[in-house]
Structure 1
């Protein structure tokens, strides 16, 4: 119980600063990928910022592990999202769910219903994942032999069609790493789409059920 409270206190103190740091990391990465004519000094500064922030994320992960008092493998398995964002810090903004929970613990009860929160989380996560995935795939595909993804606009279009599970096939990754990233985005797209549709369906059923209860049984 004491470990849980220590972890909770750590999250309350660090979740918002770390989320802001993750946005800075994403901005630095986007600058390196998109600003082709950027002077080498600025590119080095972006790389230094990314490395520094990755060290911060890794330190946060180590502190959470020590406060949790678990074996490392058990901690990594039970905190899967923490582990993923340390390995792939570009996905750190996806931790918007615990960020919202920390803010609500400071301000009181949540203002949104469970269904609205799930749909909001999934929508924001889709936008962040789509932007991050488009950046990563564009970096892999740019200049590759036979690549159909020639601009960042092509990458955004591809990310939108992939996450929405439409998959037109007009733009496809040709590099090995690009296809690995595409596979991950397909899986995430299915999960996020399922979360939104399932939550929306559940909300509709509860709404119709409440309306039926108000009307009462039909008269004879």
Structure 2
């Protein structure tokens, strides 16, 4: 389906919904936390949380479909070229990965970034690490609790495991034993390596830039 001035409308749509949808991500995550951690203590609260999760996911789906229509692309090509959008639609707990898009839209409104490139990368990585660790803790705890031979028996155990996994430390004292728990573990490890690499690379580049400036100041030609 072709939409006249599709790129223009797409930019307007991004400015309109990117930040509200990113704000909806913690709502989805909070409702998921209620569903996982509130085991029968308040059935009404669990039902309300489930309904809110469904409504927020419906917003994500509507956003995805609008982007698809405005792009003017066929579905297979759109899925390939917008793989991150597709991924966070299938796995909404990964929505924090879109923090870069949300920040970019905010800065377009202000006209100028408040942080340097290196600061932005480290800020993105830090926030994404916290949100992904919390999401992975909930997902793994949901799969592992009550499983035969499970070493992750409480949410605290799951948080400890997530911290060691995303930092690539991997103590091995608590590990997932269920198939889905291990799938989530692999995903968190991959994200952890990518985020750690981004932070390390940005910090190293920033240090090199600082040292170069100091050398230029001490240079006799200056």
TM-score for both structures, normalised by structure 1: 0.95
Alignment of 1:124 with 2:127, yes or no, is yes
- Per-residue CA deviation, residues 84-136 of structure 1 (Å, 9 max, x unaligned), is 11000111133111111111111220011001000110111100100000000
Cα displacement (A) at 1:71: 1.9
In 1, Cα distance between equivalents of 2:201 and 2:113: 21
The question of whether the paired residues in 2 share the 8 Å contact of 1:85 and 1:91 is answered with yes
Map 1:83-162 → 2, pairs under 5 A = 83-162=86-165
1:174 match: 177
Residue 197 of structure 2: aligned partner: 194
The structural deviation recorded for 1:169 is: 0.2
Distance in 1, matches of 2:175 and 2:97, equals 25
1:60 aligns with 2:72: no
Q: d(CA) in 2 for partners of 1:100 and 1:123?
A: 14
Stretches of 4+ moved more than 4 A in 1?
none
CA RMSD of aligned residues (A): 1.6
What are the superposed Cα offsets for residues 175-216 of structure 1, whole Å, 9 maximum, x if unpaired? 000000001111110000000001111111111111111211
SS at match of 2:161: helix
Query: Which residue of 82, 85, 91 corresponds with 1:82?
Result: 85
* SS of equivalent to 1:37: coil
Q: Tell me whether 198-207 or 91-100 shows the greater mean CA deviation.
A: 91-100
How many corresponding residue pairs? 219
- For 2:21, the equivalent position in structure 1 comes to 18
Shift of 1:217: 4.5
How far 1:47 moved relative to its partner?
1.3
Give the secondary-structure state (helix, strand or coil) at the position aligned to 1:110.
coil
Unaligned runs of 5+ in 2: none
